[in-house]
Amino acid sequence: MILLPNHIFIHVPKTAGSSFEQMMFERHGYPMSGDQHNIAADIPTSDLHKEVFGFLRDPLVAEVSNWRYHRFSWGTSKMTFDEWCSWRYGDKPEEYGYELGLSKDQVEYGYRFNVRPSAGYFCDALGSCVADRIYRYEDIGNALVELSEILELDCSVDGFQAMEYGWSRGREAYEEHITPRAEALVSEAKAIDFELHWAEGDIPIEYDCPVVRRYAYSR
């Protein structure tokens, strides 16, 4: 997260958060606070009065992006998206990761990281959403213009971080990897994200989603 004078940015994985963090530090001098993927429940007591914002992405496309990123960074081409989802959300045990060609550290990390709904990133310790604004990642260009006005800072992320896996590629680049089984598994695991993302109008901010300690790294 980033603690600004009157606002707090929550970094939901695979929503250009790294680009936003890099931009805020290099252009404006605001560093990341705590763990990169801290959630609203981790906001310091002294900052609870500030407005909270972040991005929510189509959960199925976000999962494809997560798979592609780790498959590339881990240097394994054996792991299909269907296998990735079966391992993380289906009936495959953690040890199945070794069959996908992963190392011990990769298995321990990949089996846990970001398997919980993104909705929980915006919730306090009681599981209640405390966000004031949740923007759709798919409309990030307009969202950053609005944030620039609200924060009175230039929030453009052009030139920050590689956006190869991001919004500029469009949804079509991901759909070829999605199987019916993978879609069903992600839809069940992150049902609230689908509900929020596809709601008409602005993304709802009045909802509950159970959270746990180290939310991003817990099953």
Mean pLDDT by 10 residues, the chain (219 residues): 98 94 96 95 97 97 92 84 96 94 94 98 98 96 97 92 47 79 98 96 97 96
| Amino acid at position 22, single letter | Q
pLDDT, averaged across the chain: 92
> What does the pLDDT read at residue 162?
46
Residue spans per domain, the chain: 2-217
What whole-number distance in Å separates Cα of residue 71 and Cα of residue 102? 9
Q: Give Cβ neighbours of residue 20 (< 8 Å, ≥ 6 apart).
A: 2, 9, 11, 155, 157, 160
> What does the pLDDT read at residue 174?
79
Strand partners of residue 133:
53
Closest-CA residue to 135 (of 46, 25, 57, 40): 57
What whole-number distance in Å separates Cα of residue 181 and Cα of residue 219? 20
Strand pairing class (51-56; 133-136): parallel
Strand pairing class (51-56; 2-3): unpaired
Fold of 2-217: Rossmann fold (3.40.50)
> What does the pLDDT read at residue 170?
46
**Contact criterion met (CB below 8 Å) for 23 and 153:** no
> What does the pLDDT read at residue 175?
83
What whole-number distance in Å separates Cα of residue 209 and Cα of residue 195? 12
User: Containing H/E element for 189?
Assistant: helix 180-189
- Taking only the tens place, the pLDDT of each residue in 58-84 is 999 999 999 998 988 888 778 899 999
> What does the pLDDT read at residue 78?
80
What whole-number distance in Å separates Cα of residue 60 and Cα of residue 118? 11
- pTM confidence score: 0.92
What whole-number distance in Å separates Cα of residue 131 and Cα of residue 40? 8
